[in-house]
Structure 1
Amino acid sequence: MKQFLAILLSTLLGVLLIFNVPVMSKNSTEILWDSWGVPHIYGKDNNSLFKAFGWAQTKSHGNLILKLYGQARGKGAEYWGINYLESDQYVRTMGIPKRAKQWYQEQSPEMQQYLDSFAQGINEYITQHPQEIDEALKVVLPITGTDILAHFQRVIHFHFLTNPQSVKSLKTIASEAGSNGWVIAPEKSLNNHTLLLANPHLPWSDFFLWYEAQLTAPGLNLYGATLVGMPVLAIAFNDNLGWTVTVNPIDGADIYKLKLQEENYVWDGKLQPLEQETERLKIRQKNGSYTELEFGVKKSIHGVIINQQKDYGYALRVTGLDRPHSLEQLWRIGNAKNLEEFEAGLKQLQLPLFNFLYGDKQGKILYVFNGLVPIRSQGNWQDWQGIIPGDTSKFLWTDYHSYQDLPRLANPATGWLQNTNDPPWTSTYPPILNPKDFPEYLTPASLGDAPNILRSQRSIQLLSESEKLSLDEVIEKKFSSELVMADRILDILISTTKALANPIGIEAAEVLKKWDRQTNADSRGAVLFTLWASTLEAKGIFSKPWNPENPLETPSGLADVNTAVAVIEGIAAQVKLLYGSLDVSWGEVVRMRVGEKDLPASGGPGMFGSFRVLNLQATKDEKFQVVFGDSFIMAVEFSDPIQAKVLMVYGNATQPNSSHIGDQLSLYSEGKMRPVFRDRNEIEQHLELKELVN
């Protein structure tokens, strides 16, 4: 019998080898790729897990990752030419490559190993699959753990936290990054389970792309997504809990105006010398030769000098450059098993921004306005949005508020928490957190100052209108594209236009009257309204500003009826000329284009109050293309077993010839999400490929 079993096993192994089926052993790390291009990684230990995650990301986004890491070194122009020069100057001026080396040295030995393992996975994948990577990008190899930290800094500290456009213009320009996030307690849930909705809104390109994965190792089963090139998940759930993040209105970057005298600056009545160093950049020419550019970088006690005008200089001070452990913090919360362990991770205060919304199997929910908030000597939020006097220590911040100082709300009686990039005061409704209990400079004082007030009001409305919610109902509400702005002013616009307009204006009013006030692919009238609103928006549409006495119904009213009517007439003429009809459908004009896919869009700009957020850009064919908005969507019910649905709107890959470029657009177009394959048996039923990463 033993001999028979031995022969059978030998035969089976032979068959597996003939058909190139990986044989799993205790000493192997395995990646199961499902039919949507999602890697499910089974690591024999944490180092192997990180290595396999680097391998997987390279298989899906290898060209993009190499380009991003090359830029994070400040060597894009050296590698690929002058088009990258501006990016390189920004990266070098901000000191990212040098600081990344310092950060690497400050990592724990364990975290250094994880970063090195992630980099090793990238390098080994390219070594074994060289034909899949563009030759021009291989100049970046080999990738190191330092590159990962440089990439993190560039993305988080110098794009999310510090808007490069603000640095360039010396004006406060709000970040485009946004998100919706919900967490619902069992008492508000139809099945008495905690519910979580994660819904970040980011550009559909570059380092803003999300990557979906499952990370499994001894003691860990984590599912979620991270930004491409990052080695840990940023939005995720495990067997016990889950969380999402949203961009919070936090002031983590200030510009100081300095009085200069030659190579000195005035500081508390005395002259202090500027620190100076020289950066050298190589610029690759079309013939393969190089030119060199030298430029000086100057620093004051505040930070790097970003602009100099005669006798004045402008210095940038950014939070968190002295906190090198953000990736370790995210890894720690991913390994948490309960609220206490999760908050222990948050209390490390390494990440310089992001709200956290948390829920778990025990029925606990939490909102935290997380981030590094400078302890300021005086002033309110608005005072710190402009240029700050830099000649006195009175305005120089040197430390941050503790975790205990930050707005935090757990298990509110309302049964739900939300954030749509609004200040913390509307994290639930009626409000519980009070701005008077916190420093005036911490964040805007009211919902009226929210960057997307109408979307925030829509979020609160969607959560408040239902007594109890199921997972499917949460998903249905997530795909709501009704425009709050239309609810506020459409009736006035229609009646005024009918009374004052010429024939084409009256025809437009009839189309708007029949419109469903949504931006679904088949909505007719949405094109007219959004073009009209976009034209008027800069001038101010509403006659009644936001009112704290009526916080969810204001702003409202139409500010200038004569201008409104004149604009609708002009827009109507333009729409008729371009599209042949005033009631052209939204999806005919607004397209989702990813790779070879070109589908009608459903969803609209968040600034008009759509909860299903898609921001648009005009195209050469006189249409509009989605360039920003809904990206990774995750809805989780903490039942037993956990139920979850996800969607990576633009697909989970960018590598040429991948079948997963844009393969989920059709689901998004239909308002649908995919079930999560998390159990191994279920994954194997939807298997596309198995790989062993040793």
Structure 2
Amino acid sequence: TKGSNVFAVSSSRSEDEKIRLAINSHQPWDGPFAWYEAHIHSEEGWNMAGGLFPGSPIVLVGHNEHLGWGHTVNAPDLVDIYELEIHPDDPYLYKYDGEWKQLKVKKVPIKVKLFGPFSWTFKKEALWSIHGPVLRGKYATYAMRFANYEDIRVIEQWYRMNKAANFEEWQSAMQMMAIPMFGTGYADKDGNILYLYNAKLPLRTEGYDWQGVLPGNSSEVVWTEYLPYEDLPQVLNPPSGFIQNCNNTPFTTTTGNGNPNQENYPDSFGIESRMSNRALRAMELFGKDISISAEEFEQYKFDLHYSDDSYMSLFVDRLISLSHNFEDDQLQEGVNVLKAWDKNTDFENINASLPIISFGWFMETLPTDVSDENLIESFTFAVKYLYNHYGKLDVIWGKVNRLVRGNVNLGVGGGPDISRAVYGIPTKEGYLKGYAGDAFLMMVEWGKDGEVNSRSIHQYGSNTQHETSTHYADQSKLFVKQKLKPVWLKLQTIKENLEHAYSPGNK
């Protein structure tokens, strides 16, 4: 994934006193981790609409009549590497707390296809220590330990979240902590909103470099306990009336009181400290509007601007500061384009193409990790790319930024680390082909009567690979125009709008 957004506002911050939730996970547009939209309705209290990946038996993000949630990718430190001290005369013994321990050994069958109908099953040695799985290197032997590897209840937890009818039931499912990561934004018809930094955080001994390779001969660095659910960073019903997360630090989830205290969480947890552009803009927009209308809520989700504090703004300003030595006329013209850019990524913007092609690659890289040489090289590439294909630099962004699906080729606004996220790859034809970003999107609201209403959109219509399918790209025109379609949750409404019905095993 390239990122995700989740926003929720309570009735206290809504102009019409409705509770609203935006579920906006950013995923690849194609492949096994591209979204399908689904609705599961049973006669046993399971009525869930949302997004899932191929093969998933449950909805991963979405809503039922009572509540809904979205996930964002977080980056807690869940894995540690240990160097084992191996016995000089026996490669299957390792030292641990002053004693030599025996590695567990198992032969694992691996079936390999050779050619045609022929295959062969090879057996490879698998090793295991107290720490976890073991890998032998040329010069050292290492063991890995990763959080929650022993918990197989992930699907059960999501299933219980699907069927929850209120916050208490949903929170009970989350307290299983079988899902070892993913930030989670939540809202329900009773007016609750929540952001939870969901993570199975190991309780580590202080005084070690947990970012490096650890000594494997001491139990002092082999953690066995985790931070309890109630102590995770979380924001429940803040006085501000809104929460947001856009792959940013949980310590800036909302305005005013209610944010988690960063001092309560040691660096060994690996909790993020950065703010993405999407998070900066969410705080600027939601944080300054005390009475958010339905139109504004949607507008903020589809925001097209870079913040003055974003990485993009830093890279643009830095390139301009380096330009005094430029002798190439095209590069100097490019600097003038950067100076004229309003940091907007709307379809008609004539100054967005150059900075995004130049610096869009670096949106997830710390500015201190991008050298001046890298910055100038990427800027030069972008200048030459636009001149080679268009003969100019002020090219309308929608002509360059494209959604391509079979014979469908559509211009689209947005860009890397924009709330309306679109990530593209330069092609030999002279446009950026979108490959990830805004994909399945769901906007959910509950009124005073507790009735749910939602709309959704998919970048294509379906993740099917069959070009003959009616839904291969039937939503793409709506998607590029930032439009959504209704979600029908009631069985009677579904029947009234049914395209096709079938029972497994029957034609």
Normalised TM-score (structure 2) = 0.88
Match of 1:178 in 2: 3
Deviation of 1:324 (Å)? 1.8
Aligned partner of 2:225 among 399, 420, 423: 399
Give the CA RMSD over aligned residues: 2.9
Deviation of 1:186 (Å)? 0.7
Matches within 5 A, 1:401-440: 401-430=227-256, 432-440=259-267
Deviation of 1:286 (Å)? 3.2
Match of 1:646 in 2: 456
Match of 1:103 in 2: none
Deviation of 1:509 (Å)? 3.3
The more displaced of 590-599 and 662-671 is 590-599
Q: Deviations over 1:236-288 (max 9, x none)?
A: 21222111111222222222222223222222233222211222322223332
What's the secondary structure of 1:251's corresponding residue?
coil
Match of 2:20 in 1: 195
Aligned partner of 1:690 among 491, 494, 501: 501
What's the secondary structure of 1:398's corresponding residue?
coil
State which structure, 1 or 2, has the greater radius of gyration over its C-alpha atoms: 1
Aligned partner of 1:472 among 268, 285, 295: 295
One-letter identity of the residue aligned with 1:612: R
Q: Deviations over 1:589-618 (max 9, x none)?
A: 332223442222322111xxx112222234
Aligned residues: 494
Q: Structure 1 pair 386/207, CA: closer, same or farther in 2 (3 Å)?
A: farther
1:600 counterpart = 2:408? no
Q: Structure 1 pair 535/241, CA: closer, same or farther in 2 (3 Å)?
A: closer
Q: Deviations over 1:310-334 (max 9, x none)?
A: 3x11222122222222212112122
Matches within 5 A, 1:155-554: 176=1, 178-218=3-43, 219-261=45-87, 262-310=91-139, 312-379=140-207, 383-430=209-256, 432-444=259-271, 447=273, 450=274, 453-484=276-307, 485=310, 486-487=312-313, 490=316, 497=323, 502-534=328-360, 541=367
Alignment check: 8 A CA contact 1:178 1:421 kept? yes
One-letter identity of the residue aligned with 2:346: N
Residues in 2 aligned to 1:329 and 1:538: alpha-carbon distance in whole angstroms: 31
The more displaced of 675-684 and 227-236 is 675-684
Q: Which has the higher helix share?
A: 1
Residues in 1 aligned to 2:341 and 2:267: alpha-carbon distance in whole angstroms: 43
1:589 counterpart = 2:415? no
Residues in 1 aligned to 2:365 and 2:278: alpha-carbon distance in whole angstroms: 20
Q: Structure 1 pair 559/207, CA: closer, same or farther in 2 (3 Å)?
A: closer
Matches within 5 A, 1:606-617: 606=417, 610-617=418-425
Deviation of 1:182 (Å)? 0.9
Alignment check: 8 A CA contact 1:183 1:365 kept? yes
One-letter identity of the residue aligned with 1:601: V
Alignment check: 8 A CA contact 2:306 2:344 kept? yes
Residues in 2 aligned to 1:651 and 1:413: alpha-carbon distance in whole angstroms: 38
Deviation of 1:683 (Å)? 2.8
Q: Structure 1 pair 252/495, CA: closer, same or farther in 2 (3 Å)?
A: closer
Residues in 2 aligned to 1:537 and 1:345: alpha-carbon distance in whole angstroms: 35
Alignment check: 8 A CA contact 1:505 1:565 kept? no
Deviation of 1:199 (Å)? 0.7
Q: Deviations over 1:26-82 (max 9, x none)?
A: xxxxxxxxxxxxxxxxxxxxxxxxxxxxxxxxxxxxxxxxxxxxxxxxxxxxxxxxx
Aligned partner of 1:677 among 473, 488, 500: 488
Q: Structure 1 pair 637/225, CA: closer, same or farther in 2 (3 Å)?
A: same
Q: Deviations over 1:131-176 (max 9, x none)?
A: xxxxxxxxxxxxxxxxxxxxxxxxxxxxxxxxxxxxxxxxxxxxx4
Matches within 5 A, 1:90-109: none
Alignment check: 8 A CA contact 2:459 2:479 kept? yes
Alignment check: 8 A CA contact 2:363 2:416 kept? no
Residues in 2 aligned to 1:324 and 1:386: alpha-carbon distance in whole angstroms: 28
Alignment check: 8 A CA contact 2:315 2:359 kept? no
Alignment check: 8 A CA contact 2:423 2:436 kept? yes
Deviation of 1:417 (Å)? 0.9
Residues in 2 aligned to 1:253 and 1:622: alpha-carbon distance in whole angstroms: 41
Q: Structure 1 pair 387/471, CA: closer, same or farther in 2 (3 Å)?
A: farther
What's the secondary structure of 1:512's corresponding residue?
helix
Alignment check: 8 A CA contact 1:423 1:443 kept? no
Any gaps of 5 or more consecutive residues in structure 2? none
Match of 2:388 in 1: 577
Residues in 2 aligned to 1:535 and 1:200: alpha-carbon distance in whole angstroms: 20
One-letter identity of the residue aligned with 1:652: S
Alignment check: 8 A CA contact 2:282 2:300 kept? no
Deviation of 1:302 (Å)? 1.0
Any gaps of 5 or more consecutive residues in structure 1? 1-175, 546-557
Q: Deviations over 1:548-583 (max 9, x none)?
A: xxxxxxxxxx996x9867864564234212332211
Alignment check: 8 A CA contact 1:194 1:359 kept? yes
Residues in 2 aligned to 1:520 and 1:638: alpha-carbon distance in whole angstroms: 30
What's the secondary structure of 2:410's corresponding residue?
strand
What's the secondary structure of 2:172's corresponding residue?
helix
Residues in 2 aligned to 1:536 and 1:402: alpha-carbon distance in whole angstroms: 35
Alignment check: 8 A CA contact 1:498 1:505 kept? no
Residues in 2 aligned to 1:583 and 1:509: alpha-carbon distance in whole angstroms: 12
What's the secondary structure of 1:328's corresponding residue?
helix
Deviation of 1:653 (Å)? 3.6
Residues in 2 aligned to 1:358 and 1:494: alpha-carbon distance in whole angstroms: 42
Q: Deviations over 1:487-523 (max 9, x none)?
A: 5565675587589654223322343344442233332
Alignment check: 8 A CA contact 1:502 1:569 kept? no
Q: Structure 1 pair 221/563, CA: closer, same or farther in 2 (3 Å)?
A: closer
Residues in 2 aligned to 1:252 and 1:367: alpha-carbon distance in whole angstroms: 20
Alignment check: 8 A CA contact 1:501 1:565 kept? no
Alignment check: 8 A CA contact 2:30 2:463 kept? no
Aligned partner of 1:659 among 470, 480, 488: 470
One-letter identity of the residue aligned with 2:164: A
Residues in 2 aligned to 1:454 and 1:655: alpha-carbon distance in whole angstroms: 33
Deviation of 1:300 (Å)? 1.2
One-letter identity of the residue aligned with 1:482: H
Residues in 2 aligned to 1:587 and 1:244: alpha-carbon distance in whole angstroms: 29
What's the secondary structure of 2:472's corresponding residue?
coil
Residues in 2 aligned to 1:522 and 1:582: alpha-carbon distance in whole angstroms: 14
